[in-house]
Amino acid sequence: MLELLNGLHAQALDELGKVSDLRELESWRVRHLGKKSDLTRILRSLSALPAEERPVVGNRANEVKRDLEAGLRDREAILRQDFLVSASQSQRLDATLPGRPFAYGGIHPVTQTIEDICDVFGQMGFQTVEGPDVETEYYNFEALNIPQHHPARDMFATLWIEPDTAGEQILLRTHTSPMQIRLMEEQSPPIRVIVPGRVYRYEATDATHESMFHHVEGLAVDKNITLADLKGTLIEFCRCLFGEERKVRFRCDYFPFVEPGAEIAIECLACTVDGCRLCGGSGWIEILGAGMVHPDVLARVGINPEVYSGFAFGMGVERLPMLRYGIDDIRLFYSNDLRFLRQF
């Protein structure tokens, strides 16, 4: 058995010396060290040997194995080096040339803000969903308690689209609130969702107005949801986004699809003096509209307002990075000027 091992050893080393490329080396490895090689077979059958032969043969077999493995490693290093040298010669590779730079993209500050908002609500158990930019008059207005000729329509300078073939009035959504209706039609409570998306207004653009911008809508519907849930949720949101210390103010406001309605403001971020550029000296910055979902809205989508209640909120997105980074012109977000975008 020892002779066999020695023969095997010598032959393997002899062949290794003649191996001239990495592919041959791999087939050498399979032949001499692989699962079906003679050496492996001997190592596996050691237990069948008489007890007095076993340690001697075992030692020698392991020695041979270690030696062949070491030979393999050395040979591989040499062949790899040879390969690089010959490749660099045959392809005239100039290893001193500088590499090509990778162009790194960045996340747009508005997208980043939407992600931050959805993350905060995600941690409170809200799912993120999206909805259509092109809406019907029904979802954008009527289902939200804003019938034709309702004065609240004046809040929304609407971009209408030609009626579709069925004669239905089509528009570019003026807010993300229509998704409240779509979601409540599709799902039954408990509902907890966040809806980010583009919204459109028929307005001349200037430093604070764009005809396309972003809203994030929120909706929670379940049994026993109260104004305290709305306050707790939105205070937690403001703390996560603007810091633990920042004061949050709730005031009554009117939106046709909620009752009661509220406007939520945070303490001004920059304010130390009168005539502050951000808040005009009031000390507060409005960031959200909110309220308890109006019972008529619930009833319209077939949710019994005697059993269920809910709260909703909506906020403009662009304002937040504008406040945070002191950006004084909303048009910068969509002008694709890299000198602006690269700063984020």
Q: Of 32 and 201, which has the nearer Cβ to ligand DAH? A: 201
Residues 205-224 that bind ligand DAH (CB under 6 A): 217
Residues 301-340 that bind ligand DAH (CB under 6 A): 312-314
Closest by CA position to 317, among listed 247, 230, 232, 212: 212
Q: Of 285 and 290, which has the nearer Cβ to ligand DAH? A: 290
User: Which phi and psi (to 5°) does residue 44 adopt?
Assistant: -70, -30
- Interface with ligand DAH includes 234 (CB under 6 A)? no
Prior bond of 260 cis (ω within 30°): yes
Report the residue from 9, 32, 173, 175 that binds ligand DAH according to the rule CB under 6 A: 175
Q: Of 68 and 181, which has the nearer Cβ to ligand DAH? A: 181
Q: Of 26 and 236, which has the nearer Cβ to ligand DAH? A: 236
Report the residue from 25, 193, 194, 290 that binds ligand DAH according to the rule CB under 6 A: 290
Shortest Å, Cβ 138 to ligand DAH: 16
Q: 7 CB contacts (<8 Å, ≥6 apart)?
A: none
Q: Of 158 and 177, which has the nearer Cβ to ligand DAH? A: 177
CA distance 310 to 224: 8
Report the residue from 110, 225, 258, 301 that binds ligand DAH according to the rule CB under 6 A: 258
Q: Which residue has the tokens 């937040």?
A: 320
CA distance 167 to 9: 89
What's the Cα-to-Cα distance from 17 to each of 13, 20, 72, rounded to whole Å? 6, 8, 10
Tokens of 54: 């076993």
**CA pseudo-torsion sign 281, 283, 287, 292:** negative
Report the residue from 178, 189, 289, 310 that binds ligand DAH according to the rule CB under 6 A: 289
Q: Of 177 and 233, which has the nearer Cβ to ligand DAH? A: 177
- Interface with ligand DAH includes 64 (CB under 6 A)? no
Q: Of 291 and 321, which has the nearer Cβ to ligand DAH? A: 291
Q: Of 65 and 175, which has the nearer Cβ to ligand DAH? A: 175
Closest by CA position to 296, among listed 137, 193, 146, 140: 146
Shortest Å, Cβ 114 to ligand DAH: 16
CA distance 282 to 267: 9
Q: 17 CB contacts (<8 Å, ≥6 apart)?
A: none
Count residues binding ligand DAH (CB under 6 A).
11
- Interface with ligand DAH includes 184 (CB under 6 A)? no
The amino acid at 27: S
- DSSP 8-class letter at 282: S
Residues 65-94 that bind ligand DAH (CB under 6 A): none
Closest by CA position to 314, among listed 180, 210, 166: 180
Report the residue from 237, 242, 255, 284 that binds ligand DAH according to the rule CB under 6 A: 255
- Interface with ligand DAH includes 178 (CB under 6 A)? no
Shortest Å, Cβ 337 to ligand DAH: 28
User: Which phi and psi (to 5°) does residue 250 adopt?
Assistant: -110, 130
Chain residues binding ligand DAH by CB under 6 A are 175, 177, 217, 255, 258, 289-291, 312-314
